[in-house]
Amino acid sequence: MVPEPQTPDSTRRPEQRLAAGRAGWLGLVCRLLMALLFLVSATTKVTETPAIQAYMHAFGVPESLVWPAAAWEYAAGTLLLAGYQLRAVSGLLAGWCLLTAAIFHTKFADLDQLMNFFKNTTMAGAFLAIAGTGFCRLSVDALLAGWRRSGH
């Protein structure tokens, strides 16, 4: 699929400018809602470390991985929220969601595990959609692209 060429706002019809503005805000709200999951999860890993380590241990995951996991979730959540390197971060988060679904949420007889499995796979799908479309007007990526176009 070939991306649509970027048209300066001054040459767009009013309805095109309105749709582009809505898309920017919707992209920002989407990223905020998705980033919150990772920022809260990272915070929980830091504030409830023994409980999280016990949970990880129960699934055969080394307890020491709680710290890199928390760091990754903080970094990824922050980058996602800012809209920096959106395609790469979204692709990595899709993989993260699928990995954690496969490790922690495959006891399908437990309704909570089943729902968490589908939450993770749904999030992976949303991240793949973001990775595929990438650009959002209200993002660091858009700011940097505009800066580069202006000759900096």
Question: How confident is the model over 22-47, as pLDDT tens digits?
Answer: 667 888 999 999 999 999 999 999 99
Question: The pTM is what?
Answer: 0.81
Q: Examine residue 30 and state whether it is found in any structural domain, yes or no.
A: yes
Q: Examine residue 51 and state whether it is found in any structural domain, yes or no.
A: yes
Q: Examine residue 100 and state whether it is found in any structural domain, yes or no.
A: yes
Q: What is the mean pLDDT of the chain?
A: 88
Q: What is the pLDDT of residue 6?
A: 53
Q: Examine residue 31 and state whether it is found in any structural domain, yes or no.
A: yes
Q: What is the pLDDT of residue 91?
A: 97
Q: What is the pLDDT of residue 8?
A: 54
- Indicate the burial class of 13 (C-beta count within 10 angstroms; 0-12, 13-18, 19 or more): exposed
Q: Examine residue 83 and state whether it is found in any structural domain, yes or no.
A: yes
Query: How long is the chain?
Result: 152
Q: How many domains does the chain have?
A: 1
Per-residue tokens: 7:
């048209």
Angle made by CA atoms 45, 50, 56, in degrees to the nearest 5: 70
Range of the domain at 85: 22-149
What amino acid is encoded at 73 in this protein? E
Q: Examine residue 11 and state whether it is found in any structural domain, yes or no.
A: no
Q: Examine residue 16 and state whether it is found in any structural domain, yes or no.
A: no
H/E run at residue 7: none
Q: What is the pLDDT of residue 23?
A: 67
Q: Examine residue 7 and state whether it is found in any structural domain, yes or no.
A: no
pLDDT at position 59 over 70 = yes
